[in-house]
Structure 1
Amino acid sequence: MPTPTEIRLNRAERRLEVTFDDGATFRLPAEYLRVESPSAEVQGHGPGQKTLVSGKREVGITAVEPVGHYAVRLVFDDRHDTGIYTWDTLHRLGREHPARWAEYEAALAAQGLSRDLRGRGRG
């Protein structure tokens, strides 16, 4: 399993930059990390229970807190702070970012939801 060699929060651009020991570097938008949070609030407690989170275009990360030697807890400015992002999760989210983002935008459109706080209309 790849391990981060650097984790940097870029507040101005609202993204988390993670470099791994396998050479991969990912620049993960806060919005993407928020809507893909590994928390039970977003993922549910079993298969098929994932919640579609909308209205997070402007969300930011206020803190990155270490969890042992295997993960970080991200604190978002919308007060969401229950997701524990393991190294494997961060690497997977980085690798799968384009495909997951396209699926997310399609799901929002199908539900008539938006990335904007108002929640309705164009994403």
Structure 2
Amino acid sequence: MFGGDTLYELRCSLQLAETEREGGFAPHVSPFTAVNDLGHLLGRAGFNTLTVDTDEIQVNYPGMFELMEDLQEMYRNDDGSVPATYQIYYMIGWKYHDSQARPAERGSATVSFGDLGKISNLMSQEKKSQ
């Protein structure tokens, strides 16, 4: 789904132009979802082991006459094109089934991640002794 920063160049330019001409602005583009809201929604729907990822894609379009003049003044590329940024959210959530293994409880680890760095030292010492 499209993320909260999608088409920010267009939205900012429309808001600035309308504020200059009308003294205020009304939203012309529907609001988009914020990434942290997605995790909350998935959790409330009963999903767990959640992953929400985001990509930002910028597409450059040729200018569009007078309507895009304000946008071009603010965000114009050197080649004269006008960028449009799309933020894309990817969501994954799982619901556990009784037949699935469950992850260990948080804090139940018996080895510290800090100790993992010592493994390579131990292995190199072992090779030297052989």
- TM above 0.5: no
Task: State which structure, 1 or 2, has the greater radius of gyration over its C-alpha atoms.
Answer: 2
User: Of Structure 1 and Structure 2, which has the larger fraction of its residues in strand?
Assistant: 1
TM-score by length of 2: 0.21
Does 1 or 2 have the higher relative contact order (CA < 8 Å, sep 6+)?
A: 2
TM-score by length of 1: 0.22
